[in-house]
Amino acid sequence: MNREGEVLAGKRKPGAPLLVTAELPADVLGWADALRRAHYPPERNRLRAHVTLFHALPSSVEAELVDVLADLARTAPPAARITGLMKLSQGTALAVESPAMTELHARIAERMHGLLTDQDTRPLRLHVTIQNKVPSTEARALQAELEPRLEPVNFRFRGFGLYAWEDGLWREIRLVKFRG
């Protein structure tokens, strides 16, 4: 799926790594994506705003992963809150707190144990990147501009997104909505 939300057309690339996201509700997605379009280097901004849970699971676990996500999605949509900014070394993100989503992430990680990349075994820091790969002075300037006017935002995640990573773009495989 590209930044505008278009699904990649054509055949899926065999063996493409799988990504799992916590899907934002439409209003929060629209707001966060507008920030991303305004501040992310345009030549690098090929995706819409998102909250990544897992960056690269092997394609061979797709069926099991769909089952795990469907099972976990029987719960109520997890409450979340954008609490402020997360300072990245070369960018800026919206910091997200969600104990319930963190617990769901841990349950997925437990089921995928032994298949996780180093990046996916690190402690989870939920966030939405709105700026990346810019000089640190530019990142600090944006943080100084946004921090005083950024209000906390409460929301509920709407589901899990499952995507294939193909040549720098995401191909949507499935959206698993919370049903509880």
pLDDT tens for each residue of 63-116: 999 999 999 999 999 999 999 999 998 999 999 999 999 999 999 999 999 999
| Percent residues over pLDDT 90 in the chain | 84
> In Å, how far from its chain's centre is CA 83?
16
DSSP conformational letter for 147: G
Indicate if the alpha-carbon torsion angle 105, 106, 108, 109 is positive or negative. positive
Structural domain spans, the chain: 18-177
CATH class assigned to 18-177 = alpha beta
Residue 157 has pLDDT above 50, yes or no: yes
Prediction pTM value: 0.91
pLDDT number for residue 167: 83
Cβ neighbours of 163 (radius 10 Å): 24
Q: 126 near 98, Cβ under 8 Å?
A: yes
- Which residues face 164 on adjacent strands? 18, 171
